[in-house]
Structure 1
Amino acid sequence: MPKSQFKSWIKILLPLLLGIFFIWFSFKDTTAEQRTAIWETTKNAKLFWIILSMVMGITSHVLRASRWKLLLLPLKDQPKLSNCFYTVMFGYLANLGIPRSGEVLRGASYASYTNLSFEQTFGTIITERIIDFIMLILIIGVTLVLKTDELLFYLDLNDIKPLHTLGYLFGFLGFIFLIFRAIKQSKNLIAIKINNFLTGLIQGIRSLMVMRHQWKFVFQTIAIWMLYIGMFWIIKYAIAGTENLSFGAALIGFIAGTFAMSVTSGGIGLYPFAISAVFKLFDIPVEVGQAFGWVLWIAQTIVVVVLGVTSAILLPIANKSNKLAN
């Protein structure tokens, strides 16, 4: 097997194997009675609240596509909301296989049907991720006020330092900027290629500063994250035993689940484990916390798979008259 092909398989299999490990790890210390309780609690979850959570998830995806459209407008593109939505969902589908691969696939697939370069589209996606990480930091700040001891205990237990991560992110962007300045005047062929790549990337990142609808962008960002929290929060009404879950406890569970989603493929295995670990701090039985995590994960994964596959089919059909831009 060629080395490049081997690396590709490793990128796909490692997150999946990690997810399988966490599924095993989640259940290894549970008794037969607890596993039965997890299944029964999951099976008896109230469908109305699950469907409502799925609808909120779909709405957040549409808003994400609309927000991305705002970032693409300053790049002299005429983005269609449908294309933005298709590529967003296609990217989420890819993330189920390889974490964070969806961002690259989203930028590449959108660029292939427009006059924009991959560097430009990917730059706007980087901007999105920076804004979303700032939103997560703000949510962590609110949660600190509501549930200081519990959140600090959870973050310390899992060695999670979001402020450090934010510092590393801005440090990385600063490093790219310095590299860009250093090679801008170079006549070396490799330096010219890097310069062209970084120029497009920076154009995409700067789109936030020159867009006409900045307040609309802010509103949609807030709405997206309110929907994220909402689709997590209302699942408490679907699971017997979590009806009285406090908002502060739900926020800690939401934060834990958000970090878990970035570790394994779509959060498989780790997501329910992270939720149950948090809920245990609030005297919610392990089997109830596991059921909560599995119900929410399965519901939102169904949304991503159905819309992702549909988008992968519709994207080339909707753009069959377009020539490849790159």
Structure 2
Amino acid sequence: MNPKLIKFAKIVLPILLGVFLIWYFLSSATPQYREELLHNITNAHPFWVILSVILGIISHASRAYRWGFLLKPLGYTPKIYNNFMAVMVGYLANLGIPRSGEVLRGITLTTYEKVPFEKAFGTIVSERIIDLIMLIIITSISGFLQTEYILNFLQEKDINPLATLGILFLLIFIGLLGLRILRISNNRWVIKIRNFGIGLLDGMKSILAMERKWAFLFHTILIWTLYVLMFYVMKFAVPSLSTASIGIILVAFIVGSFSMSTTNGGIGILPFPIVVGAVFVFFNFEKSDGEAFGWILWGSQTAVNIIVGALSFLFLPILNRNRK
């Protein structure tokens, strides 16, 4: 089969499936439900929506500033505005192709700041590792706050946690075996991959050579606190959700994060508004209220990514036109 066709299908099919699922959920709903959903969206309190958007933009700026801490040990001090615009064009790219934003973000810094791509990308990988650790911490806190609900859910769905752990250990073993092959193989393609990996490691090791580790930690906590606050303040935009506890918001945040990270900006196999709405339904809130929350949050943050990302594409060459 044509490789270009396969690549095109990988991009388009998840989006089409997400659109179909959204259409199916809405078309199969009762007229009363659709009316309630539209009412909740159109009557959302604008103050809380705007506040959530502002928190999101501050988190993006903090991420751009934190990125500089990882690049400095490698001998590079890019302009903060270039870091910020690189982050935003990455978010914009992720709306089309999941995870492509990280590559474009590295390419942007290579283009305008002359940072070798493999080193820039290595620092981005380091960020993602830190992000994963933070998500695990938040998941653990959420699990502690909602232990009873989670255990009941696992029991109802007949899910065996031990089987999940077994699969995890198997994946770790396969990964270690792959690393062993990369180290000892003399195949020229494997050598190229190994050399590229060494460049990535140089970028990732920058986290150990940082001078301002506490500042990096502060911004890491700040970024993820702002992420959670984006969710928390948005509940007040839909008054019927204002009683939702921080534990419920954390569960919605975790589910929403998974949807955003594995799909085209939250519209794919797991559409963000639907899966987030399902969390509120699980905790005995109305479906129309929960999905209205998801649509408002997804719509406002996606609008920011599109507008600021597009402006970043425009201003990157303009602001850097006199730089050699």
> Normalising by the residue count of structure 1, what TM-score does the alignment of the two structures yield?
0.89
| Map of 1:22 onto structure 2 | 21
Equivalent position SS for 1:68: helix
Q: Residue 116 of structure 1: CA displacement?
A: 2.4
Give the 3 Å change call, closer, same or farther, for CA 14–243 of structure 1 in structure 2.
same
List per-residue Cα deviations over 1:207-239 (Å, max 9, x = no partner).
111111111111111100000000100111111
Question: Do structure 1's residue 271 and structure 2's residue 272 form an aligned pair?
Answer: yes
| Map of 1:293 onto structure 2 | 294
| Map of 1:103 onto structure 2 | 102
Equivalent position SS for 2:44: coil
| Map of 1:308 onto structure 2 | 309
Check conservation: 1:151, 1:252, Cα contact below 8 A.
Answer: no
Question: Do structure 1's residue 140 and structure 2's residue 144 form an aligned pair?
Answer: no
Aligned pairs (5 A) from 1:10-159: 10-152=9-151
Q: Residue 84 of structure 1: CA displacement?
A: 0.8
| Map of 1:319 onto structure 2 | 320
| Map of 2:184 onto structure 1 | 182
Distance in 2 between residues matched to 1:244 and 1:231, nearest whole Å: 16
Check conservation: 2:183, 2:194, Cα contact below 8 A.
Answer: no
Aligned pairs (5 A) from 1:228-239: 228-239=227-238
List per-residue Cα deviations over 1:153-209 (Å, max 9, x = no partner).
5678598989789868866775565345325xx5x6545533431221110111111
Give the 3 Å change call, closer, same or farther, for CA 85–195 of structure 1 in structure 2.
same
Q: Residue 321 of structure 1: CA displacement?
A: 3.5
Equivalent position SS for 2:208: helix
Q: Which amino acid in structure 2 is aligned with residue 7 of structure 1?
A: I
Q: Residue 22 of structure 1: CA displacement?
A: 2.7
Distance in 2 between residues matched to 1:307 and 1:91, nearest whole Å: 11
Distance in 2 between residues matched to 1:285 and 1:190, nearest whole Å: 55
Q: Residue 118 of structure 1: CA displacement?
A: 1.4
Question: Do structure 1's residue 3 and structure 2's residue 2 form an aligned pair?
Answer: yes
Check conservation: 1:15, 1:99, Cα contact below 8 A.
Answer: no
Give the 3 Å change call, closer, same or farther, for CA 273–153 of structure 1 in structure 2.
farther
Q: Residue 17 of structure 1: CA displacement?
A: 1.1
Q: Unaligned stretches of 5+ in structure 2?
A: none
Distance in 1 between residues matched to 2:143 and 2:309, nearest whole Å: 35
Check conservation: 2:273, 2:298, Cα contact below 8 A.
Answer: yes
RMSD: 2.6
Q: Residue 14 of structure 1: CA displacement?
A: 1.9
Give the 3 Å change call, closer, same or farther, for CA 172–235 of structure 1 in structure 2.
farther
Q: Unaligned stretches of 5+ in structure 1?
A: none
